[in-house]
Structure 1
Amino acid sequence: MRYPKSAPKTPPEATPELAAIDRERYELLQQWESWLEMPMLVLSFAWLGLLIVELVWGLNPLFETIGITIWVIFILDFCLKFLLAPHKLFYLHHNWLIAFSLIIPALGTLRIVPIIQSLQSVHAVRGLQLLGIMTRTNRGMRLLGASMERRGIGYVFALTAIVALAGAAGIYTFERNLPNGAVGITDYGTALWWTAMVMTTIGSDYFPKTSEGRVLCFLLAVYAIALCGYATAILATFFVGQDAESDEAELAGTKSIQALQVEIAALRNEIQALAKRDLEH
């Protein structure tokens, strides 16, 4: 996550030395984020992928070790950025969700989740899983947005793929073991199909039965609405652009505007020449 460009300025009463130090720390922070932008993006996708594997199939000791290693790297990176940030509270305000995403894995690493499971608090466990999905997905989305500058159809496709894969893992986790023998989603492929139907606004004949599944379904539907609006805007821009480039179109295109500008320039020169001739006579 890049340090916001709208960061607060150094107070006027600060000495020139303090202002220079803040400026150097800000430049160093920007340089550090630029160096690690791509490695952190790759690690974020790997961390999200490990969460999906954990929710669907479970992690073996090797993958669990890799996940903990990535988590430690993220903690060190966040702590270093926090130390370099000239304005600590401002940095925390803009990166609190990332900090929260680093706290959630500690609950599993410190064996707090098994304690909750032993107390048969199913909703607490599922709530932590939902928060884990949301925070890790958000981290990947923010780093992807910073890397691609939120431009182009490629960014939208990559973002949609992340949301679909993570959403399918979540809905499978919440809806596979239902109480009272209720039939839920029995495999990850079905969950992925259900997620695709929700995100394309086609809908499905299955409705989530758990509270966490319903929350996740609502979030996917909200994203789908935004995605449809973006797709509509892209199609409208494409067709308007095609129409504008046509010589027979009712909408003035770039070529027509350029030709009109040339005619106006020629007319201006002709008027100036006539005015100059009248003055000479």
Structure 2
Amino acid sequence: MAETLVAPNAVERAGVLAQLEDWLRTPMLVLSFVWLALVLVELVWGESEPLEIVGTAIWIAFLIEFAVRFSLAPAKLHFLKSNWLSVLALAAPAFRLIAALRFLRFARAARGLRLVRIVGTANRGMNALRASLGRRRFGYVLALTLVVVMLGAGGMLAFEPAEAVEGGFTSYADALWWTAILLTSIGSQYWPQTDEGRLLCFLLSLYGFAVFGYITASFASFFVGRDAAARDGEVAGTEEIRALKEEIVQLRIELRGALGARL
């Protein structure tokens, strides 16, 4: 009897959750992109009170949205496992507010929380891009790579500034160039000195290793396709292959006719 009562309730909650996510998709997309811009501005130019107020308001909206989704989720543990990175990203600003109270020395912890915030923001940006771009795979990967480069450069500038680290980055443009070179697997003469910078560099390298092969293959496929479409190209195109098939079929017919005549 209990099972017959629980199952419909779980199905109903899952349906309400799906409807809520569909209704909140556009507002959360807008807030996600605004949050991405705020985090990037903070990493590059530092904190400011107006941006801090806007960021806190957006963070509270994210907390409320996550709490409502969690309350409606039929399987709580599975929901947390599927959104563990979002949980960490939402918890980081709370610990950051505690660190700002200066009752304890949280300088090193604050740097680690900033790294968590960068990774969490990249994850939220990834989800927003996936929802907005849909099945445009190459466009999604290209846009996500741009977000990763911009966030990664901001993080490297925050962790490895020239005034604090010998040989560090003097500007955001300098960090942006270094991050782009790192993602293309070319490498650089400078390597991070701080633990947070090294970990971020490792994550950027993993992303570059995983994604740039796909981007390179997409570009190669595009140019090969253009060469195949050209009649004077070196690569056989669809029309040439179709004509070759027709010739083979015609040869088979002629061979069958010649064999039939001999018999």
The 1:31/1:229 distance shift into structure 2, 3 A limit, reads same
User: Who is 2:96 aligned against?
Assistant: 108
Q: Find the aligned partners of 1:234 and 1:217 in 2 and give their Cα distance.
A: 25
Q: Find the aligned partners of 2:242 and 2:20 in 1 and give their Cα distance.
A: 46
Contact 1:175–1:210 (8 Å) recurs in 2: yes
User: Who is 1:93 aligned against?
Assistant: 81
| Of 46, 52, 58, the match for 1:64 | 52
Q: Find the aligned partners of 1:184 and 1:36 in 2 and give their Cα distance.
A: 42
| Of 65, 68, 71, the match for 1:83 | 71
For 1:185, the aligned partner's letter is F
The 5-angstrom pairing of residues 218-257 of structure 1 reads 218-242=202-226, 245=229, 253=238, 256=241
Contact 1:246–1:253 (8 Å) recurs in 2: no
Contact 2:228–2:238 (8 Å) recurs in 1: yes
Question: What is the alpha-carbon root mean square deviation over aligned residues?
Answer: 3.1
The 5-angstrom pairing of residues 121-270 of structure 1 reads 122-149=107-134, 151-176=136-161, 182-242=166-226, 245=229, 253=238, 256=241
Gaps of 5+ in 2: 253-263
Larger deviation: 185-194 or 71-80? Answer: 185-194
Gaps of 5+ in 1: 1-11, 268-281
Once the two structures are superposed, residues 116-163 of structure 1 have per-residue CA deviations (whole angstroms, 9 ceiling, x without a partner) of 8x52x5432221111111111112112322332363322122101111
Given the alignment of the two structures, is residue 47 of structure 1 paired with residue 31 of structure 2, yes or no? no
The 1:177/1:126 distance shift into structure 2, 3 A limit, reads farther
Identity of paired residues, percent?
Answer: 44
Contact 2:162–2:168 (8 Å) recurs in 1: yes
For 2:87, the aligned partner's letter is A
Aligned to 1:36, what secondary structure does the other structure show?
Answer: helix
Q: CA deviation at 1:256?
A: 4.5
Contact 2:167–2:190 (8 Å) recurs in 1: no
Contact 1:108–1:114 (8 Å) recurs in 2: no
Q: Find the aligned partners of 1:194 and 1:19 in 2 and give their Cα distance.
A: 54
Q: Find the aligned partners of 1:258 and 1:70 in 2 and give their Cα distance.
A: 60
Report the TM-score when normalising by structure 2: 0.81
Larger deviation: 166-175 or 183-192? Answer: 183-192
Q: Find the aligned partners of 2:58 and 2:45 in 1 and give their Cα distance.
A: 20
For 2:35, the aligned partner's letter is W
Contact 1:245–1:255 (8 Å) recurs in 2: no
Q: Find the aligned partners of 2:25 and 2:227 in 1 and give their Cα distance.
A: 40
User: Who is 1:8 aligned against?
Assistant: none
Q: Find the aligned partners of 1:59 and 1:153 in 2 and give their Cα distance.
A: 34
